[in-house]
Amino acid sequence: MSAGLREALNLSVFWEYREVLLKGLAFNFYVFACAAAAALTLGLGAALLRVNRWRPVRWAGTLHVEIFRNAPDYVMVVWVHFVLPLLLGFAIGRRLEFPPFLSAVIALGLVYSGYFAETFRAGIQSIPVGQIEAGRACGMSERLVLWRIILPQVVRRMLPEAVNQFVSLFKATTIVSLIAVPDLMYRVSMVTQQEMRPLPLYTGAALTYFAIIFLAASLVRAAAERWRQKVYA
């Protein structure tokens, strides 16, 4: 076992390929950033649908949330990459193919829009109705009430939960290697095929993700908490 342990912890090969691997990590961040933007926008939209006055509108929002929140990330990624282009191709009468990066962003964006929608909805419904009435009593339009009273507070209240979901999303970007997006895991498996030394490479990948996520999550959580405290005392 000790030979294996020494091999696993001999990260020199990981270090050797660090440039290639870091470029892969950058891809994880690109996918994360784009998917996060999509997920936030779609999630906010779905949440607003779910608190709408009319029942069919609420129903549409709930449908969106329940489909995407319950779908496994990997299944969604595969479906968006292999099925969606075909369906769209039928619709416009041409043969379509999605670049892997696009499929990844769409798939993860959709899945996480489901989670964010729930977070936003819970936040919106936690705002005391009196504050909304005070806004209306001043003659504020629904749009003003939403953007000036509801959303600023939703962001503050739901920040810890949202940070958790961002962390999950970043972790989820590792699966994009499976549709050939050249992220860290993809390059690790490429290098493994070349160097035939899986132990240090996979161990190195695990440690890298651990370090990034642990540090980043701790920093962001601490900063978010300080920002919240400023207003809520």
Q: How many C-beta atoms surround the C-beta of residue 47 within 10 A?
A: 25
Looking at the Cβ atoms of 206 and 222, the one nearer to another protein is 206
**Is position 56 an interface residue for another protein (rule: CB under 8 A)?**
no
Stretch that binds another protein, among 15-23, 41-49, 50-58, 211-219 (CB under 8 A): 211-219
CB 172 to another protein: min, Å: 7
CB 152 to another protein: min, Å: 5
- Under rule CB under 8 A, which residues in 102-141 are in contact with another protein? 128, 130-131, 133-141
**Is position 13 an interface residue for another protein (rule: CB under 8 A)?**
no
Nearest to 44 by CA among 154, 159, 166, 169: 154
Of residues 96, 152, 195, 219, which one binds another protein by CB under 8 A? Answer: 152
Give me the residue label for tokens 């890298």: 208
**What Cα–Cα distance (Å) separates residue 82 from each residue in 23, 76, 104, 105, 205?**
26, 10, 11, 14, 28
CB 40 to another protein: min, Å: 19
**Is position 199 an interface residue for another protein (rule: CB under 8 A)?**
yes
Number of residues that bind another protein (CB under 8 A): 61
Contact 175, 74 (CB under 8 A): yes
**Is position 15 an interface residue for another protein (rule: CB under 8 A)?**
no
Contact 173, 183 (CB under 8 A): yes
b/e map 154-179, b = 16+ CB within 10 Å: bebbbbebbbebbbebbebbbbbbbb
**Is position 233 an interface residue for another protein (rule: CB under 8 A)?**
yes
Of residues 26, 63, 87, 222, which one binds another protein by CB under 8 A? Answer: 87
**Is position 210 an interface residue for another protein (rule: CB under 8 A)?**
yes
Q: How many CA atoms lie within 13 A of 227 on its CB side?
A: 14
**Is position 178 an interface residue for another protein (rule: CB under 8 A)?**
yes
Nearest-10 crossing angle of helices 100-125, 73-82:
130
Q: Please tell me the distance from the alpha carbon of residue 79 to that of residue 218, in angstroms, as a whole number.
A: 34
**Is position 74 an interface residue for another protein (rule: CB under 8 A)?**
yes
Residues 6+ apart with CB under 8 A from 58: 49, 50, 51, 52
Summarize as ranges the residues that interact with another protein (CB under 8 A). Answer: 1, 4-5, 7-8, 66-67, 70-76, 78-79, 82-83, 86-87, 128, 130-131, 133-142, 144, 148-149, 152-153, 156, 167, 171-172, 174-175, 177-178, 185, 198-199, 202-203, 205-206, 209-210, 213-214, 217, 231-233
